[in-house]
Every structure is written in structure tokens, then in C-alpha cells.
């Protein structure tokens, strides 16, 4: 069953006994995480109950193909349902993994609830189709916030606090927001709190108040490229172009990202393990990015990193020459780089 994201929590609240698993997925990973956390609250799940709640990621199921079905089949001693969280974010689920999940979710066991979160799997993905067609599943696509949605929310917040600004200013302010719901929620909350607690509110003050989140798609592009997710790497490249970010900026962001991986690999070459290298790198890596950098570092070696950095340098020079299409050159590089990482993923 497919449910719109805006109707999801109300549906869950009113039909809590009518489903066994939920798949939250989409390019708006911020919305995926928000709904994941909100549904836990809606269903009053105690995430700290080790006797009832189990947490897995894709690697856990790859390492032990039976752990998922075994956990589903385990009777809960503290609740009427066994709760399982499955995180498929930041990976490209292979057929064997998807088949394992589908088989486990097709079991005759009754008293369980599996909540799955994933990236932009695509409508033709087998897990997406399975969930949509299942009478026991809820499929929730999480699409990116549109410019109109962002402008409408800004206008509503201003109106609720008795402020009025021109449409052109609201449009300008909206460009500083992201298409990621969790990031925008923080900015909307910041804006609301400021309007409530301050008497002096001008266009300049509001522009300085809201963080410029235009680099979010750049970071996603670099991460998906380095992890071998070709479809999402190209998807977020298109998003950067839609935001009027030049290919040169994209190239330099990718250089910075692959330089981080290079530092990690150099530390590993000097005898450190990957996790220790990541934790001690300077400047420090943001904690939320550490798991991704760890996965990416296992897909690359120094020779390949040097090759990519040389290609990035060459593409920047060609782009600046004006003799070639910088957008096309950058797209080709993103494609070849993400394919290189994809080919390094073990079956």
C-alpha cells in the first residue's frame, strides 16, 4: 500500500494493527529520517528496550543472511509485537539482499513490525514494488521539498507572526533553504523563534539569520559518487545545476571530498585502521559523515584516488578554457567516477 508522506502518521495512528512493515524511501533523506523518528513516537516504541527492539543495517544481513528472519520469528517478552529497524541508507541493495528481505517479510509470523529506511531506490526497485503490492506493507515515498512548498511555509510563518514582506523577498529568502526536510525544519524553527522573540525584523536581518544550505546537494553528490551510486550521483548533479551552482564548484567540492578519502587511506597505509584514521583526521570529519567515509574508503585505493584527482584537475582546466561544455564534462566525470566505485563493490 502506498501512502503519501503527509498522510503517513495519521494513517499509522488510526491503523496500527493493519500492517507488518513500513518502507520509507526517497531522495529527501531528511524527510525519511523525520518520519522514521515520528512513527516511533506515534507508536510509542521504546527504542532502548533490548528485549523487544532490534536494529540492523544492510551489512548485518549480508554477514548473516538468517539474522533477519530469525529475529522476526523471535517472540517478544515485553510487548505484543517484535520491533525491527532496518537501515538501508548509503548502500545500493543487491538482489540477494532484497530477496532475503522479501522472503523474510513474506513469512507467516504475525506479531512483528519492521520499519525500513532507505535512499532513493526508484519506483522499479523490487523492494519498492513488493511493499506497494503487499497487503501487509506501507510504502512511503519521500520526495524533495519544492520551491513553492518552501515559499508557502515561509509566508505562513511570517503571516502567523504578523509580518508581511514582498513576494520577491520571500523568493530570495527561499533560495537559502534546502530540499531536505530535516534541514528546513531547523531553519523554519529558527525563523519562528526569532520572530517571536525579536521586535526588529528586517529583510537584511532575516537573510543573515537563515543559513545558506545550497551546498547540501553538493555533499550528497560527492557522497553518492564516491560510494558508487550512479543514479543518485547524477540525480543530485542535476539538482546542483537547478540551483545555479556551476560545474567548477561541483568539481572543487569533489576534489575536497576525495582529498578526505586520500588522507584516510594514507593513514591506513601508515598502519592505522580505518576507524582510527577517520576519528583523528584534521580537520575533523563531521560525525554524521564518518560512516559514509568509512564505507567509501574501503572502495578506493590511493592509485584510484590519484587518478580521480588528476581527472578532476584536467576537467577544471578544460571547463575554464571555454572550448568544451563544462556541464557535459562534469557529468561524464561523475558518471565514470561513480561507476569506478560501483565496480569495486563486492558482490
Tell me which of 141, 173, 193 is where a domain ends.
Answer: 141
Tell whether 187 and 300 lie within a shared domain.
no
pLDDT band at 130 (very low <50, low <70, confident <90, very high): very high
- Residue 291's pLDDT is what? 87
Q: Is the pLDDT of residue 76 over 80?
A: no
- Residue 188's pLDDT is what? 95
The three grid cell numbers given for residue 335, joined into one nine-digit string: 558518471
Q: Is the pLDDT of residue 7 over 90?
A: yes
Residue partners of 237: CB distance under 8 A and separation at least 6? 221, 250, 330, 331, 334
Structural domain harbouring 33: 5-141
Q: For the domain that residue 340 is a member of, what is the CATH number?
A: 1.20.272.10
pLDDT band at 314 (very low <50, low <70, confident <90, very high): very high
Tell whether 220 and 323 lie within a shared domain.
yes
- Give the mean model confidence (pLDDT) for residues 171-196: 90
Tell whether 247 and 323 lie within a shared domain.
yes
pLDDT band at 6 (very low <50, low <70, confident <90, very high): very high
Tell whether 110 and 157 lie within a shared domain.
no
pLDDT tens track for 225-276: 999 999 889 988 988 887 778 888 899 999 999 999 999 999 999 999 888 9
- Give the mean model confidence (pLDDT) for residues 150-175: 93
Q: For the domain that residue 73 is a member of, what is the CATH number?
A: 3.40.50.300
Average pLDDT taken over every residue of the chain = 90
Whether the model pTM is above 0.85:
no
Structurally, the chain folds into a number of domains equal to 3
Tell whether 121 and 156 lie within a shared domain.
no
Q: Is the pLDDT of residue 122 over 90?
A: no
Percent of the chain residues topping a pLDDT of 70 = 99
How many DSSP H helices and E strands does the chain contain? Answer: 17, 5
DSSP state of 2: B
- Give the mean model confidence (pLDDT) for residues 134-144: 93
Burial class (CB in 10 A: 0-12, 13-18, 19+), 186: middle
Tell whether 254 and 197 lie within a shared domain.
no
Tell whether 226 and 337 lie within a shared domain.
yes
Tell me which of 209, 232, 260 is where a domain ends.
Answer: 209
Tell whether 17 and 128 lie within a shared domain.
yes
- Residue 347's pLDDT is what? 60
- Give the mean model confidence (pLDDT) for residues 34-44: 94
In degrees, rounded to 5, the angle at the alpha carbon of residue 5 between the alpha carbons of residues 127 and 230 is 45
Neighbours of 221 (CB within 10 A): 26
Tell whether 89 and 188 lie within a shared domain.
no
The three grid cell numbers given for residue 330, joined into one nine-digit string: 562534469
pLDDT tens track for 83-112: 999 999 877 788 999 999 999 999 888 889
Tell me which of 125, 141, 157 is where a domain ends.
Answer: 141
- Residue 108's pLDDT is what? 85
Nearest to 347 by CA among 116, 163, 92: 92
Residues in a beta bridge with 85: 55, 115
Tell whether 9 and 133 lie within a shared domain.
yes
- Do residues 122 and 153 make contact, with C-beta atoms less than 8 angstroms apart? no
Tell whether 56 and 89 lie within a shared domain.
yes
Tell whether 248 and 198 lie within a shared domain.
no
pLDDT band at 69 (very low <50, low <70, confident <90, very high): very high
Amino acid at each position: 500500500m502506498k501512502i503519501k508522506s503527509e498522510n503517513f502518521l495519521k494513517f499509522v495512528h488510526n491503523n496500527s494493527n493493519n500492517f507488518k512493515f513500513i518502507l520509507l524511501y526517497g531522495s529527501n533523506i531528511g524527510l525519511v529520517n523525520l518520519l522514521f523518528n515520528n512513527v516511533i513516537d506515534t507508536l510509542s516504541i521504546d527504542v532502548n528496550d533490548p528485549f523487544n527492539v532490534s536494529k540492523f543495517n544492510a551489512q548485518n544481513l549480508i554477514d548473516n543472511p538468517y539474522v533477519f528472519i530469525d529475529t522476526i520469528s523471535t517472540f517478544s517478552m515485553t510487548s505484543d509485537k517484535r520491533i525491527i529497524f532496518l537501515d538501508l541508507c548509503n548502500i545500493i541493495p543487491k538482489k540477494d539482499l532484497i530477496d532475503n528481505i522479501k522472503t523474510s517479510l513474506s513469512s507467516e509470523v504475525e506479531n512483528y513490525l519492521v520499519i525500513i529506511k532507505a535512499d532513493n531506490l526508484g519506483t522499479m526497485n523490487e523492494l519498492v514494488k513488493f511493499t506497494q503490492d503487499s497487503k501487509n506493507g506501507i510504502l512511503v515515498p519521500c520526495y524533495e521539498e519544492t520551491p513553492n512548498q518552501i515559499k508557502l511555509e515561509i509566508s505562513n510563518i511570517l503571516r502567523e507572526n504578523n509580518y508581511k514582506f514582498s513576494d520577491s523577498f520571500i523568493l530570495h529568502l527561499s533560495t537559502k533553504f534546502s530540499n531536505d526536510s530535516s534541514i528546513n525544519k531547523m531553519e523554519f524553527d529558527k525563523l519562528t523563534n526569532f520572530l517571536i522573540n525579536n521586535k526588529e525584523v528586517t529583510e537584511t536581518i532575516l537573510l543573515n539569520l537563515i543559513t545558506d544550505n545550497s551546498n547540501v546537494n553538493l555533499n550528497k553528490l560527492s557522497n553518492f559518487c564516491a560510494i558508487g551510486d550512479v543514479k543518485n550521483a547524477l540525480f543530485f548533479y542535476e539538482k546542483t545545476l537547478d540551483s545555479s551552482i556551476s560545474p567548477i564548484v561541483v568539481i572543487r567540492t569533489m576534489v575536497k571530498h576525495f582529498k578526505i578519502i586520500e588522507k584516510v587511506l594514507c593513514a591506513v597505509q601508515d598502519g592505522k585502521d580505518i576507524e582510527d584514521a577517520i576519528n583523528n583526521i584534521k580537520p575533523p570529519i563531521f560525525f554524521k559523515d564518518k560512516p559514509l567515509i568509512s564505507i567509501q574508503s574501503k572502495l578506493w585505493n590511493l592509485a584510484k584516488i590519484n587518478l580521480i584527482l588528476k581527472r578532476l584537475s584536467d576537467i577544471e582546466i578544460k571547463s575554464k578554457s571555454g572550448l568544451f561544455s563544462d556541464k557535459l564534462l562534469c557529468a561524464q566525470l561523475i558518471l565514470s567516477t561513480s561507476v569506478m566505485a560501483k565496480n569495486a563493490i563486492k558482490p
